[in-house]
A and B are shown apart, each in its own frame.
Chain A
Amino acid sequence: MADAKVISPHEIQVEGALPADATAIRLVRSSDADIPLAVVSVKPAAQANSFVLTTAETLNSQDHFQLTAKGVDQVWDIAPSPLAMVVSVIIGSALINNFVFTRYLGLCVFFGVSRNKDTAIGMGVTFTIVGVLSGMIAWALNTIALVPLKLEFMQIIAFIGIVACLVQATDLILKKVNPILHKKFGIYLVLITTNCIILAVPLLNATSGATMLQAFGLSLGAGLGFALALFLMSCAIEKVNMAPVPPVFKGLPIAFIIAGLFALSFLGFSGLKVA
């Protein structure tokens, strides 16, 4: 299938042969396939064998479109590329909607573990790995079993069961395979079970009907975002612990204020859009 993509809010670039007559072209949004969008003009593009369509209506680059033309056998499917979509989901959940600073999840563990850089990195890495695994397994269970059998009300139990089993299994495997690593990371494993994020990721995937790639992106982004948040916090906390903090603020209150400042700076990501 030849390529076609949305290059601006009113233009689509199409690879292939198109008639010069704009009225012979039919462009529709896949979800509104019975209503053709008005194509204003068809012009040859700078690349060979490509054309630029201009439309009257505004086009959303996240939308799915279909393009057909009279006398041409080919059908073009216009959709955001899977790679671009996964990258945008990852960046979305790691930066724009960072699970700690924007969605306020995983705070319980967050404040306990961000005391120094090493524990922060350890927790971040462990969490990302377990998070991606549990996210994918939970997605598979949900898609294959829970939804078709109409058992959605079992989601909470199923997801937390998966997390608990995965944590337990990882603990046992790690102890047998690499005791050194187990000594280093083992304690973080157990803390993961009470981490809100690990349960939130499968729930979010389930409610938004994510595809496998999207679920993977969300789990990975969540883990990376959490690791980033932990690392940043630990750097700041290490410095703060050496500063003269008023006694009533020592400990958690000042940590919250710092987290608030980080949250403010992460707000700067909120307009970020990955093409």
Chain B
Amino acid sequence: MSANRPPPPVSTMLMRGLFEENPIFRLALSLCPAVAVTTSVKNGLMLGVAVLIVQVLSSMSGSLVKHVINPKIRIPVFTLLIAIWVSAMDMILAAYFADIYQQVGLYVKLIVAFAIIISRMELFSMKHSVVPCFWDGLGMGLGFLVGLVLAGAFRELLGSGSIFGIAILPFKPLLLVVLPAGGFFTIGLIMALFNWVDVKRGHKLPTGGGAHG
């Protein structure tokens, strides 16, 4: 099948996921949870960790099986692999972290439909061996996690006056931010922020605007 390409350095893979190819704010993939789950830092953190684990495991297992499967059924097999990891993650979370699971349960199950994981497997796992896949998965997962926590912190602080459940402000500044509409605004603003940082660093914004779906 496809030969393994030499992988980029580890630090690049990690940093890429965090900024240049941040899944949420730049690649605009798997947005559903970004808006839904970021009502608090705790929720965002929990889902972020879940996605990180699934991403790493999926990337690695995708790389392991790529020689064994018929390329025509590649996508269904990847989907199955992801479904296995997600179901496993779902069961473990439901058993050992039940209170947070109650809030993010549905979104954990939906990880299987995340475009980021399957597209990463297609783009990266197919061409690299297991260890670089681990780092790439980690980078992407970390970018996702940081994105969720960032948005979560913003919304929780402004909406409920707390961070991670610890009250920081004695009042709730702007309850709107915790509601669905606020989630959309937050992501839009943070995306614009990422674009602005890009401009400041001297990169030209692609025509038609920044992050594209």
Please say whether the chains A and B touch (CB closer than 8 A).
yes
**A residues apposed to B, CB below 8 Å:** 101-108, 111-112, 153-157, 160, 164, 193-196, 198-200, 203-204, 207, 245-257, 259-261, 263-264, 267
Q: Is the CB of B192 within 8 A of A196?
A: no
Question: In the bound complex, how far is the Cα of B30 from the Cα of A106, in angstroms?
Answer: 9
Closest beta carbon of chain B to A218's beta carbon, Å: 13
Instruction: Decide if B65 is an interface residue (CB 8 Å cutoff).
Output: no
Assess the A156–B209 pair: CB atoms within 8 A.
no
Q: Once the chains bind, are A248 and B84 in contact (CB under 8 Å)?
A: no
CA distance A256 to B210 in the complex (A): 13
Alpha-carbon distance A260/B190, docked complex (angstroms): 14
**Given A254-B188, A256-B185, A196 contacting B80 (CB threshold 8 A):** no
- B89 shortest CB reach to chain A, Å: 10
Given contacts A196-B32, A263-B180, A264-B176, 14 further A-B contacts (CB under 8 A): A101-B180, A101-B181, A104-B31, A104-B33, A104-B35, A108-B29, A108-B31, A194-B115, A252-B211, A253-B189, A253-B192, A259-B184, A260-B185, A263-B183
Question: Does B7 lie at the interface of the complex (its beta carbon under 8 Å from any beta carbon of A)?
Answer: no
Quote the shortest CB–CB distance from B24 to chain A (angstroms): 10
Instruction: Establish whether residues B32 and A164, one from each chain, have CB atoms under 8 Å apart when the complex forms.
Output: no
| From A200, A252, A256, contact of B106 by CB (8 A) | A200
| 6 smallest beta-carbon distances between A and B, as pairs | A251-B209, A250-B209, A256-B188, A260-B184, A263-B181, A112-B213
- Mask, B40-64, CB within 8 Å of A = 1, is 0000000000000000000000000
**A-B Cβ contacts below 8 A, count:** 145
**Minimal Cβ-Cβ distance residue in A for B29:** A108
The contact sample of 5 A-B pairs, CB cut-off 8 A, is A199-B112, A249-B188, A250-B205, A252-B211, A257-B184
B199: CB under 8 A from chain A?
Answer: yes
Q: Which residues of A contact B112 (CB under 8 A)?
A: 156, 160, 199
Residues of A near B31 (CB, < 8 A) are 104, 107-108, 111
Residue of chain A at shortest CB distance from B176: A264
> Contact: A194 with B32, CB < 8 Å?
no
**Of B35, B76, B83, B188, the contact of A253 (CB 8 Å cutoff):** B188
Q: Which DSSP category, helix, strand, loop or mixed, fits chain B's interface?
A: helix
Describe A's contact surface by its main secondary structure. Answer: helix
Q: How far is the CA of A251 from the CA of B210 in the complex (A)?
A: 6
Task: Output the least CB separation between B94 and chain A (Å).
Answer: 10
- Shortest C-beta distance, A95 to chain B (Å), equals 13
CB–CB B87/A156 < 8 A:
yes
> Does B113 belong to the interface (CB within 8 Å)?
yes
Q: Are A252 and B213 in contact (CB under 8 A)?
A: yes
Interface pair A107/B32, CB less than 8 Å apart: yes
- B28: chain A residues at CB < 8 Å are 108, 111, 252
- Given the complex of chains A and B, what is the CA–CA distance between A164 and B106 in angstroms? 20
B120-163 Cβ-contact flags toward A at 8 Å (1 or 0): 00000000000000000000000000000000000000000000
Q: B36 contacts A253, CB within 8 Å?
A: no
Indicate if the CB atoms of A251 and B79 lie closer than 8 Å: no
Contacts of B179 in A (CB 8 A): 263, 267
Are A249 and B113 also in contact (CB < 8 A) when A101-B180, A259-B184 are? no
User: Considering the chains assembled together, what is the distance between the CA atoms of A204 and B208 in angstroms?
Assistant: 37
Q: Is B22 an interface residue (CB 8 A)?
A: no
A164 — which chain B residues lie within 8 A by C-beta?
76, 79
State in angstroms the CA–CA spacing of A260 and B36 once bound together: 12
Whether A257 contacts B113 in the complex (CB less than 8 A), given A101-B180, A103-B36, A156-B90, comes out as no
Let me know if B15 is at the binding interface, CB within 8 A: no
Most chain A beta-carbon contacts within 10 A, residue among B84, B113, B181, B182: B113
Contacts of B189 in A (CB 8 A): 253, 257
Asked whether any CB of chain A lies closer than 8 Å to the CB of B178, the reply is no
Q: B174 at interface (Cβ–Cβ under 8 A)?
A: no
Please give, as numbers and ranges, the residues of chain B lying within 8 Å of A108 by CB-CB distance: 28-32, 115, 213
Whether B209 lies near A194 (C-beta < 8 A) is no
Q: Check: B14 CB closer than 8 A to any chain A CB.
A: no
Cα of A199 to Cα of B191 in the assembled complex, Å: 27
CB atoms of A194 and B184 under 8 A apart: no
Q: Answer yes or no: B13 CB below 8 A from chain A CBs.
A: no
Q: Which residues of B contact A156 (CB under 8 A)?
A: 83, 86-87, 90, 109, 112
**Chain A residues near B181 (CB, 8 Å)?**
101, 260-261, 263-264, 267
Query: B180 to A104, Cβ gap below 8 A?
Result: yes
How distant is the Cα of A195 from the Cα of B112 in the complex, in angstroms?
A: 10
Chain A residues with CB below 8 A from B80, complex form? 157
